[in-house]
Structure 1
Amino acid sequence: MKAREGDWVIVKGHRTGDADRKALITEVHGRDGAPPYVVEWDDGHTSTYFPSADAVVERHPAPHSHSR
């Protein structure tokens, strides 16, 4: 898994009816975008996170430079 600051980690619910969890990646500590990540969860708490198979990264678009 590769990510960058500003991407989101989505963790799928484990049981039927469980909501997915979402966390904003605020720091990337692995080489070339690899885990671990420091994330801020949708409930407001922050943790160091090592994703497992139930997680996906939702890419945040890279900033564009606007030349005129």
Structure 2
Amino acid sequence: MEAHTGDRLVTHGRTVGQQDQVGEIVEVLGTGGTPPYRVRFGDGHEHLLVPGPDSVVRRSVGPAPGPRDGGAP
């Protein structure tokens, strides 16, 4: 698993009716994007996590490059 700051970590519910937990990765503590990750959830709490097989990383989509970034105006 590889992640970067700003990506989302989605942990799927383990039982019927349990919702997925989604948090934003605010810090990558492993080398080369590997766990552990510091993750901030919607209620503001942060946790240090080593995701298991029931988790996936959703890449963040950065803003489109503008004129100062070398993109089209």
What is the TM-score when the length of structure 1 is the normalising length? 0.89
Whole-angstrom distance in 1 between the partners of 2:63 and 2:26: 16
User: 1:35 matched to which residue of 2?
Assistant: 35
Q: Counterpart in 1 of 2:9?
A: 9
Q: Determine if the alignment matches structure 1 residue 21 to structure 2 residue 27.
A: no
Q: Normalising by structure 2, report the TM-score.
A: 0.84
Please, which runs of 5 or more residues in structure 1 have no aligned partner? none
Report the identity percentage: 37
Unaligned runs of 5+ in 2: none
Aligned length: 68
Report the 3-state secondary structure (helix = DSSP H, G, I; strand = E; otherwise coil) of the residue aligned with 1:32: helix
CA-based RMSD of the aligned residues comes to 1.3
- Based on CA coordinates, which of the two structures has the bigger radius of gyration? 2
Where do 4+ consecutive residues of structure 1 move more than 3 Å?
A: 62-65
